[in-house]
Structure 1
């Protein structure tokens, strides 16, 4: 039986940039913040980490650095997806060689593969590595959805561990749980759906909000795993305005802006991502102040 690589809250960590590339000193501070506040795993070079605008060399060095610095305290999961199966295989093999404990692989974007193509893509990739692979379903960004029936086919592979579900379709989550074996695990890919997905058998969340409130996201899943869904629901509702503010523009624009406002020196966004509008910047500032994360202006 396959075991989950983590239960709880995994931070989809931002990548701090400087003029010279990735700011590893700033990344070290961010990792400390996460580890000191109960984060259960670190996802590096995912969507929130702006991997699509990083060079191959930057991605591998960032993964290696996270693995070395975390030093086994929690699992490190590397984003290694691509819209080219060949490139995804190369990235995945090299991320595994860099010491990643598992891989998070987004569906091929832009190509709009069929379900048969998704099965071949993920099977080819999983055959090429020996570490666990987590599927990442986010059709709002990629233009393609992983059907529950496709999950059931892929769940048969020894290296395919589960799915980060960010489709927003709780009906699909139920069908995945019904069609797939117990050792095909589900993690929420949307912060504000953590409790309902855990109630349907999910093992936690891969979280954007954990960048700014790691202890609260850890506690949210902890309550779910303790079957205290009344308290978990209250905390989920309390965090909802923050989650909304962190998605007022496309991720990771708001969360990186929030970290910079909090003094974490997360650095600039890389084009084509850019700073939020004045209206959204004010929303982010006001919300952070309401949660006591920055002083009120």
Structure 2
């Protein structure tokens, strides 16, 4: 039983080829339009026609999107960058959907993965990748970066149990339902790491590695297969402005006999332990985001649709 369970985890999380998509996606989410999540990007494979969406990602610079390493690797071998394209400012999943009036697209020029990433051998520790784009994005109301902030005190404050972050994605919307063709969002609370470990299936606990955080519910609102690599986003006041901060990357979740286990939380690759990896390729990634105000953490109720805060990073809506 344990071996079968681990193989199911591998199936859901490990790759994105042979006509399949893997990894978590949102169940019981709410519909999104792009002004609510201009940091979100879709990763597509060019190995199928039309291009197929396989993972999510987060814009962190004009030419850089961060995603999960398992989206772009087989075992620990990084797949050719030429196999991938990225779309930002997209609400609709199909690559060339004409309703995506604000979409911007780019080929992937290079892929950076931590040298210690070994996939399932190390239970998807270091599950983070940087996609270096061929064409820079132009920031506007549909495409903006999320902030990265590596202040440990503020990180711990935002990741206290019960603080909630936002995730976005396409694909499955229930245990065995069809994929969503329109971007969905969900607000997920942090789960304390000891609780996450103690209340997870024994066969899954080894996947809660030292660089993971947990978030979600066990009531049917969950991330499921199809949107690994998407961002777990929090809000904070920076330089007197409301900004969004990327704290985690959708990584793994326990599998069941269904296509999606909607009654469990998921693990996210924690950005803080990967500061040096990110800054090795995007050294100025924190510039423009400013310093968080002491004790000021944004909540979902503070996100007002359509309000322009003129903040340097993403100004979210509700």
TM-score, length-normalised on structure 2?
A: 0.24
Structure with greater strand share of residues: 2
TM-score, length-normalised on structure 1?
A: 0.26
